[in-house]
Structures are given as structure tokens and as C-alpha cells.
Amino acid sequence: MVTPRELRALPKAHLHTHLESTLRPGTIEEWGGVAPAAAVFSGVPIYPDFRAFGDERAAVRDLLNTPERFRRAAYEFCQDEAAQGVRYAEVTFTAAAHGERTGQARMPLEAVLEGLEEGERDFGLRTAVLLDHSRRRSTDRLARTVDLALAYEQVVGVGLAGDESHPLSPFARELDRARAEGLHLVHHAGESAGADSVREALEVGHAERLGHGIRVLDDPGLVARVRELGVPLEVCPSSNVMLSLAPSWAEHPLPRLIEAGLNVTLNTDGECALNGEYASAREIFGFGDDVLAELARASVRASFAPDTVKKEILAEIDAWAR
């Protein structure tokens, strides 16, 4: 019998994680908040819908109200990611909304970038930032998001998130501008809404990756298109279960996405530890170390990391898999 390799030693890239959702329960409680229900996730749905999840997370976001707290959140994120074997992370942050809430347009992002820089130095991983924008919010806020992204070289892209019942089309002009200015575009699609949201993300949003994307399976023709394009899916199984988008881990479509030949990466949405996702994939679906290593490779290849960084991490994954 072959002993499974240690997952903490598997080098990984993490592509879909929201900084506001990664706050440690102890940090939240220290700041006077209540740890989210996801902190004690036991493999069954927690939230009846996206709105319930959003309301809980809004209370947590409000705790981020000083430069020190934004810096600490980013620094602790780096420490926790490094402990999971993450070598490169793209962390999503809702910078413009925090700037409006605090009355300091650039402070939240600048403080986060400081915390990430310190965390990279202390814990030995590399990071980049994606700025997201809620589909429910104004085009003016997206314009400010794009402006912020263009002002800081550590920010590599922008994307639309939130309730997918709100279309991308009103934001087309700003998304075109972001693309023309060289920003990467990564949108949540095919999470709570169906195949049409994926098509819109590709056609209107110029999506280079799909946040979640699990509903692509609703349409065989779309599966073929996404497979042909090679657009990576940022799949977050535990998050999908928590939000009642899958009834359990065992019934999650992760294996079917892989079997369909889609470009699948494994992520957390910020709701849990990345090692736990790999461990569950091993335990529940029987994925061998070869499959887990290929998921890790896919995450590196799909990342926006420099080619030299990709080459380095891919070599480390190969060494783990030997």
C-alpha cells in the first residue's frame, strides 16, 4: 500500500480567496465581532442563500476600519497561506468599497499591500491582488476600482462578484477599459446562476478565468466551448456546500468537471484552509497524489504569476510527486 504524500508539503497556488473572508476567528473576536458560521464548517450547508452569507460577511468587513487592521489582515493571510504550502496567492480585495466606507479612498488598499509585503518577506510566499466589484453596485464604483488597480503594480486584475442575477452588461465600458489598459479580468460566474452567466462573463467580461464556474455543466455546448478555450475554473467546493449550491461534498461536481476535460483549479473562496480542500478531494473522491499534483499544477499555470515563478513552483510540485 502506497502511503499518501503530506499535503502541506505540496506546493500550491491559490487563485480564488477573498481577504475579508480569511480573517481568523480569533482576530474577529478580538476586534469585537462574532466569528462567522463558516469557522465551524462540518460539511453541510450553512447559509440558505447568498444574501444570508453576504449579511454575515458585511458585519465582518465593518471591523476593517483602520490601517493597522487592514495590514494585520493581510499579514495574517500570508502566514496562514504559507502554512498550507501555498507558494503563490492571488488575493481578492474590495478596495473601492472599503475606501468609501472609511472615507479614505486609497488607505485600505495601501495598508493591505503593506501587510502583504511584510508577510511575503516573513513567510516566503509571493502574492498579487485582484480587486473585485459587486454586480449590485454602481458603474462609477467600478471605474474607481479600475483606477485603483491601475495605480498599483501589485494589483494584477479586476473582476465582477456578488449576486449573479445582476448582469455584467452595464459594466461593459469599464471592463473594456480595464482590458485595454492591460489588467487581467476574472469574474464570478456559474456559481449561483447558470450557463448564461458564464457566457456573459466570457463575451462581455472578457474573462480569463471563471470564479467558480460549476454551472458550466448545465450546457454541454458551453462545456465544449470552455474546454476548447482552456479557460480555468476556480472551483471552491466547501464554499459551494456552505452556500447550499451543492448539498454535500460527495455530491459536488468537482469530479465531473475534471472528467469533462475542463481546466480545473482548487480554491477556498476564503472560507476554509486550502489543504482541507485537497484532503477532502483525496478522502471523498479518492483522488490519488497524481490527480492532486495536477490540480496544483493547474493552479500555477492558470495564475498571473511571472513565468519564472511558475517554473519554480512547477518544479517543486514535480519533486513532491516523484
Which residues carry out catalysis?
191
The label of the residue with cell 493547474 reads 298
Alpha helices in the chain (DSSP H): 25-30, 50-61, 67-83, 95-102, 107-123, 139-151, 172-180, 195-203, 220-229, 237-242, 254-259, 274-285, 289-302, 307-321
Determine the residue type at 81.
Answer: E
3-state class of 15 per DSSP?
strand
Q: How far is CA 177 from CA 95, 147, 150, 206, in A?
A: 18, 10, 11, 11
* Gap between the Cα atoms of 27 and 211, Å rounded: 27
